[in-house]
Amino acid sequence: MNLMEVYPAQDNIHPLSVNLKLGRSMKKIMLSVASVLIASPLFASILPENYLNIPVDSKQLQGLTQIQYNNVVNKFESTYSPIVRNLGGNLVINRLWTDGTVNSNAVREGQNWIINSYGGLARHPSITTDGLALVLCHEVGHHLGGAPKIAHARPENKWATNEGQADYFATLKCLRHVFLNDNNEAIIKKMTVPSELSAACKKSFSNAADANICIRSGMAGVSVSNLFANLSHRYPALFSSPDQSVVDITYDNHPDFQCRLDTFFQGSICTANPNEDVSQTDEVQGTCHKTLGYSTGLRPACWFKATVL
């Protein structure tokens, strides 16, 4: 907003009076925004708000077909609906194929654990079928991905796992369930897998089936991090160049996309039991944590600061 558009220059108006008027106007705006936020549920999204829109009839940008999209959602839904039901929730996936929004989000309404899956994201050329599966896993991770939660959420929104943990949960637990019964060896043979990912997965898992799921999960992370890079107009993240930044306190919002690829990678190579649930209050349970003797598969320091030492 341009100040002079609100209060055009007039010789008989003192700048202080303009500031006071603007202050009162901004106060009204802030109160209005605050009232909306108080009345609104929390939408936890995989991407920050962006204005990219890929319509259903787009000819320039085409990722997944509607059939591919539905197949991924069907498989994810059949895997996680009973898990959510056992936790007292009802998984609702809104298939918004015709909506061009390039994002996805999670929201709670009573016992309904909702995921909004927009077609615009699925149509982005960076997104593979496994990339979409990871996005869905990230969103269900907001619902059941455990601690750390969003630190400053209002009481009614304390259900929401923060962004970094939702990323970690996606490869630590979720994709291992979604990919479990697939012919993962045949699937990854069709991929160009970075040597760093292949070597790390084979080092972590002596069992070939587990190593293949690790590789496939890491490649799903490549798909999604390529989307992040594209939206930022930057070069893609690489397994060979992890984020070296270190936070003083856990960062709840969306980390930089290199940090997020690092998180997908560490979740993939973590050897914690995929059937051991994470805790909604304890950052240690079900994860690779230093206090449990792990030195790999740890949540990256570019967003996570351990509180249990």
The answer to whether 227 touches 126, Cβ cutoff 8 Å, is yes
The answer to whether 165 touches 145, Cβ cutoff 8 Å, is yes
Distances from the Cα of 259 to the Cα of 86, 239, 247, 254, 264, angstroms: 33, 10, 12, 9, 9
What distance in Å separates the CA atoms of residue 223 and residue 239, rounded to the nearest whole number? 13
Q: Choose among 92, 136, 93, 94: nearest CA to 112.
A: 92
What distance in Å separates the CA atoms of residue 210 and residue 78, rounded to the nearest whole number? 21
Packed helices 257-269 and 195-204: angle between N→C axes, nearest 10 degrees? 30
Residue 75: which region, alpha, beta or left (left: phi > 0; alpha: psi -120 to 50)?
A: alpha
The CA-based dihedral angle spanning residues 286, 133, 83, 254, taken in that order and rounded to the nearest 10 degrees: 50
pLDDT of residue 2: 33
The answer to whether 171 touches 236, Cβ cutoff 8 Å, is no
The CA-based dihedral angle spanning residues 194, 197, 199, 203, taken in that order and rounded to the nearest 10 degrees: -170
Q: pTM score, two decimals? A: 0.87
pLDDT of residue 62: 79
Tens-digit pLDDT string for the chain (309 aa): 333 322 233 333 333 333 333 344 444 433 333 333 334 578 999 999 999 999 998 876 679 999 999 999 999 999 999 999 999 999 999 999 999 999 999 999 999 999 999 999 999 999 999 999 999 999 999 999 999 999 988 899 999 999 999 999 999 999 999 999 999 999 999 999 999 999 999 999 999 999 999 999 999 999 999 999 999 999 999 999 999 999 999 999 999 999 999 999 999 999 999 999 999 999 999 999 999 999 999 999 999 999 999
The answer to whether 189 touches 86, Cβ cutoff 8 Å, is no
